[in-house]
Each structure stands twice: as structure tokens, then as C-alpha cells.
Amino acid sequence: MHSNVTIAALSLSLMLGACASNIHRNDADADPYENMNRKIFAFNDKVYENIYFPIARGYRKITSQDVRNRVSNFVDNIEEPITAANYVLQLKPKEAGISVARFAVNSTLGLAGTFDVATGWGLGLERTNANTTMASWCMADGPYVVVPFVGPGTARSFAGMVVDSAADPVYWTTYKDANIHDKATYGFAAVKYTDKINSLMDLYTGFKEDSVDLYATLRSAYLQNQRKLKCRFADESDETSHFDFDFDEDMED
């Protein structure tokens, strides 16, 4: 089941990606389904405000910052093998090695990953994912889409999300034991998404307060983040190329 989903996701990404250029100078150009996306975005906003954020606020009420830090570390550690595998696929052995070492150190000395001991040893957290791996192999990002209950992404990033979930270590380490498989998979997913929503809630609320068009602001932030992902065959020397356009354009100085 997992591998079928992965293949379908990759095919979808290739199909959609082939229709689009990797670099859209204008955010609106990357968003051919803007009307529909805006409607889903408005729906998602209601979901965040009425379901997700109350859960995150409840979580904050019953936990201290220290407990939340331990939970974040635990989630990061469980996902570390996915990071390591993606670094291997990106042909980055040094980063893959650091990731493996982090997993070994934090899983043991870090008490099942709840303490990030490895960072103190100079093995800092550097996350990566299947979306970045596909980008590194020059796969185009495809159109910008907003998915109900999930949020914004591109065809490639959603395909990446499916690939990463298919590699979920919790799934593969428990699938032989039917008694704990579902509990472990759903339990970890609940913890993981509560942690993610908790870390994103303030950022979203801040953007909402400051922006006159929240949809456009978040689209720009998301697409800028995608553009910084480099294709391994492109010129890597210019790290700032995705935001270093002609700043004097349209200016009367």
C-alpha cells in the first residue's frame, strides 16, 4: 500500500511538474488555480481557528515549555532516519553521516530522543525531506495548491510529503505487530501534528495581524522557500539568486 502511494505521488509530481517551470518570477504565475485556492484557504483558516489552534492552546495549557521541548525533540529524533535517507539520495554523505550519528546519540544518551545531546557535540539539526531531494534532482515544483485541512504546497512538495510519510519509521517498526501498529502510528501522528501546529500557530497569527492579504503573503513566503531549493546541476555559486532580483526595478530613485 505504502509503495503504491509513493509511486502514485511521484508520478503525479512528474506529470504536474512537467507542465510548469521551476522558477516563477511572479507569485501569481505559479498559482493558476488562485480562485479555487483562495476558497480552500478561507475554509482552512476556519479549520485552524476552530479546531487546530484550540487543540494547540489546550496542549500549551496542560504542558510546560520544557515538556513541549522534549516532545519536539522526540518527534525530530523519530524523523531523523527520513532526513538521513534523503541526504543519501541527495548524495550528501557528510550530512547523512551527521544525521545517523545524531539519531544514535539522541536515541540513547538523549533518552529516546527527548534531549538533543548531539547538538551540544557539534552535530546540529539540519532537516531535509523528499521535496528537497526531488528539487535537488531538478524536478520542477509544479503549481501552487492549497489542500483542505492541510494547507499550501506545490505538486512536488505534496508528493514529497507522501513519500516521507511512506518512509515513516513508526509505521515500519511496528507493522508486524497488529496489536500496537495502529496505536503507535496514530498516536505518533497525533503527537507530531500537535507539535507542528503548536510551533506554527504564533507565526500564522502574527502574519494574520500584519497582513492586508494573508493569502498572498503566505503564498509568497511559501514560494520563496521553494525557490531556494537548488537543482544539483544548476550554478550553486549564487546562494542569493532566488531573492536577489534587480532591486531597482520599477524604482524611481
Distance CA 72, CA 68 (A): 6
For 108-139, letters b (16+ CB in 10 Å) and e give eebeebebbbbeeeebebeebbbbbbbbbeeb
User: Is residue 236 near other proteins by the rule CB under 8 A?
Assistant: no
Q: Is 177 in the site for other proteins (CB under 8 A)?
A: no
**The one among 50, 179, 212, 233 contacting other proteins by CB under 8 A:** 212
Contact assessment for residue 217 and residue 76, using Cβ atoms and an 8 Å cutoff: no
Candidate ranges 53-61, 83-91, 170-178, 215-223; the one touching other proteins (CB under 8 A) = 215-223
In the bound complex, what is the minimum distance in angstroms from residue 92's beta carbon to other proteins?
16
Cα–Cα–Cα angle for 210, 197, 200, rounded to 5 degrees: 35
Residue partners of 54: CB distance under 8 A and separation at least 6: none
- Asked whether position 239 contacts other proteins by CB under 8 A, the answer is yes
Nearer Cβ to other proteins, position 28 or 138? Answer: 28
Nearer Cβ to other proteins (168/195): 195
- How many residues bind other proteins (CB under 8 A)? The answer is 37
Q: State the residue for C-alpha cell 539539526.
A: 125
How far is residue 62's CA from residue 1's CA, in Å, rounded to a whole number?
Answer: 37
In the range 119-158, which residues lie near other proteins by CB under 8 A? 124-127
70, 114 Cβ separation under 8 angstroms? yes
Provide the minimum distance between the beta carbon of 108 and other proteins in the complex, in angstroms, as a whole number. Answer: 20
Q: What is the binding site for other proteins (CB under 8 A)? A: 27-28, 69, 72-73, 76, 124-127, 210-213, 215-217, 219-221, 224-225, 227-228, 239-240, 242-248, 250-253
